[in-house]
Amino acid sequence: ISANYPLLVQGPHQCSGRVEVQQGVTWGTVCDADFDLHDAEVVCQQLDCGIAVEVLGGAAFGKGDSSQVWREEIQCVGNESQFYLCPKSLSKTQNCSHGNDVGLVCSGKNNSRLLGGPDSCSGTVELQYLSEWGTVCDAFWDMRAASVLCRQLQCGSALAVPGQAWFGEGRGHIWADVFECQGNETHLSQCAVSSWSRAACSHGRDAGLLCDVRLSGESDCEGHLEVYYQLAWSRVLMDSWSFKEASVVCRQLGCGSAVKLYSSSLSGTPGNDVCLTGYQCSGNESHLVNCSDPHRLNCSSSPQAFIVCSSEYIISIRLVGDAGGCAGRLEVLHQGSWGTVCGDSWDLKDAQVVCRQLQCGTALSDPVPTFFGPGTGPIWLDEVDCEGNETSLWDCPSAPWGQNDCLHKEDVGIVCSGVKILHLKKKESKKNLL
């Protein structure tokens, strides 16, 4: 048995239910005597369901069907990133049946937004638990939690956390939980929560947030660089910009590393004809504020910086034709459209890079291009020539985007060794609960 994959079933939503664990190809339930809040925290985090709220015994979400009851005690510390990393030992509990199946309630992924500000990177802090939106009390909100939320929203770092409903009073519930963030987390769900409903708080004390960096484009991890500087959003000129500075921005936004850097001749930010220049970074800084200070000048017609970070490309590649996502016709996303890759010059080294990028193990075979059938739409890539040790397909040489002499009958197909079991099961659980 090499791994354990958790799943929550038969709950009122995808973030609660009976705990079932896959070992090998077999699913089983867990005895309530062998499961505690530390184990629950790891399951909730792995399923992207926020934090653990309650552990319920006695088959609270129904008895398991044909699945067996595992005879192992899970001994998570609570900070493991994956359930299979938790230590296990032979259970001391005797005669545990499906009547003792453990259930779990997670808070649900805490979606976040900023409302009432001049843009999506400033405003009153609102968090969503399950289906309910609410504000945060300024008494329990600090710069470390604010920095995490700015990073989560791909808005850079926190400049200020104005309280007293600075951006206007919110509506609905007021969350009084205290986020004990270290400041280096990428999502609020990774922060410990010390108390719920700690004290009464009114909407007159709603917490606000002002962040400092954003990429203005079709997605959160690509676009024109805009920096909040001296009380205004300004774009950055390309004249002093390089991959060193771009790498700092992508890191600060939680978007990986810089993949592409373009120049654009667009005019300044709407309502502001002032741009920034003069940034100089070593490339290792965690925030743009750690680099040299910029100075302001008129944008005129000077080219401006347009950045594409690696996280944008992580979600821009897929294998179509297998439910597990690790085998199928290779498709890539470019300029908002999915397209295929031509099989000219394609070999096993290229396939290895794709499998690694998709976290699908290694390439098992090099199928003929029509193995998974022809695709539709544009043929984006041709003459791909990877060495095989690249971390991303975008690091490999190829013909320019869209330039090829191919037909869809030559579309590349790939078979990788891995199967995205957890991702597949989560989708199934959502479907079954609708």
**CA neighbours within 13 Å on the CB side: how many for 410?**
16
Q: 351 φ, ψ to 5°?
A: -65, -35
Is there a domain that residue 421 lies in?
Answer: no
| 160: pLDDT strictly greater than 90 | no
Domain presence at residue 267:
yes
Distance CA 425, CA 85 (A): 19
pLDDT at 342: 92
Both 60 and 118 in one domain: the answer is no
Which of 5-19, 115-129, 346-360 holds the top average pLDDT?
A: 346-360
* Percentage of the chain lying above the pLDDT 90 cut: 6
Residue 365 lies in a domain: yes
User: 370 falls in which pLDDT band (50, 70, 90)?
Assistant: low
User: Is 431 among the domain residues?
Assistant: no
- Is the pLDDT at 432 greater than 50? The verdict is no
- pLDDT of res. 70: 81
Q: Which residue has the tokens 């996280």?
A: 311
The per-residue pLDDT for 335 is 60
3-state secondary structure the chain: CCCEEEEEEECCCCCEEEEEEEECCEEEECEHHHCCHHHHHHHHHHCCCCCEEEEECCCCCCCCCCCEECCEEECCCCCCCCHHHCCEEECCCCCCCHHHECEEEECCCCEEEEEECCCCCEEEEEEEECCEEEEEEHHHCCHHHHHHHHHHCCCCCEEECCCCCCCCCCCCEEECCCEECCCCCCCHHHCEECCCCCCCCCHHHECEEEECEEEEEEECCEEEEEEEECCEEEEEEHHHCCHHHHHHHHHHCCCCCEEEEEEECCCCCCCCCEEEECCCCCCCCCCHHHCCCCEEEECCCCCEEEEEEHHHHHCCEEEECCCCCCEEEEEEEECCEEEEEECCCCCHHHHHHHHHHCCCCCEEECCCCCCCCCCCCCEEECCCCCCCCCCCHHHCCCCCCCCCCCCHHHECEEEECCCCHHHHHHHHHHHHHC
Same domain, 202 and 218: no
- The span from the first CA to the last CA of the chain, in angstroms, equals 32
The encoded tokens of residue 61 equal 């979400």
- Same domain, yes or no, for 127 and 92? no
User: Which residues, other chains included, contact 244 with Cβ-Cβ below 8 Å and sequence gap of 6+?
Assistant: 281, 282, 283
For the CA atoms of 231, 232, 235, 237, the dihedral, rounded to the nearest 10 degrees, stands at -60
Which pLDDT value is given to residue 2? 43
* Listed residue (221, 219, 196) closest to 127, CA to CA: 196
Tens-digit pLDDT profile for residues 39-48 = 888 888 788 7
Cα 381 to its chain centre, rounded Å, is 26
Residues 116 and 155 in one domain: yes
Beta strands at 132-136 and 173-175: parallel, antiparallel or unpaired: parallel
Say yes or no: 278 and 364 in one domain. Answer: no
User: Would 279 be classed as within a structural domain?
Assistant: yes
Cα–Cα dist 26/22, whole Å = 6
73-77, 140-144, 157-161, 368-372: least confident range: 368-372
Structural domain range at position 384: 316-416
Shared domain for 137 and 170, answered yes or no, is yes
Residue 272 pLDDT: 59
* Judgement on whether residues 243 and 327 belong to the same structural domain of the protein: no
Domain at 191, CATH number: 3.10.250.10
Question: Of the candidates 259, 284, 319, 135, which has an alpha carbon nearest to the alpha carbon of residue 209?
Answer: 135
Tell whether the model's pLDDT for residue 331 goes beyond 80.
yes
| Residue 233 CB-density burial (10 A; 0-12 exposed, 13-18 middle, 19+ buried) | buried
pLDDT tens-digit readout, 251-273: 777 677 787 888 876 654 444 57
Q: What is the pLDDT of residues 103-114, one digit of tens each?
A: 988 876 667 888
The predicted structure's pLDDT at residue 267: 52
Backbone angles phi, psi at 160, to 5 degrees: -160, 155
Task: Tell me what pLDDT residue 379 has.
Answer: 92
- Residue 1: is its pLDDT beyond 60? no
- Within a domain: 427: no
206 and 219 housed in the same domain = no
- Among 179, 210, 241, the domain boundary falls at 210
Tokens of 56: 């319920």
Domain final residue pick, 84, 106, 128: 106
Domain count of the fold of the chain? 4
| Rg over CA atoms, the chain | 25
Looking at the predicted structure, is the pLDDT value of residue 156 above 80? Answer: no
Query: Quick check: 209 pLDDT over 80?
Result: yes
CB half-sphere exposure, 248, CA atoms < 13 A: 20
pLDDT of residue 433: 27
Whether residues 100 and 15 share a domain: the answer is yes
Identity at 30, one-letter amino acid code: V
- In this predicted structure, the answer to whether residue 288 has a pLDDT above a threshold of 60 is yes
Cβ neighbours for 263, distance < 8 A, ≥ 6 positions apart: 238, 303, 304, 305, 306
Distance CA 76, CA 84 (A): 9
Q: How confident is the model at residue 425 (pLDDT cuts 50, 70, 90)?
A: very low
Residues 90 and 127 occupy one common structural domain: no
| Residue 243 sits in the same domain as residue 185 | no
Would residue 424 count as lying in a domain?
Answer: no
363 and 328 in one domain?
A: yes
Last-in-domain residue among 154, 183, 210: 210
CB-based contact 124:141 (threshold 8 Å):
no
Q: Is 426 part of any domain? A: no
pLDDT score, position 263: 82
**Cα separation, 65 vs 85, whole angstroms:** 26
| Nearest of 182, 204, 203 to residue 133 by alpha carbon | 203
Average pLDDT of the chain? 78
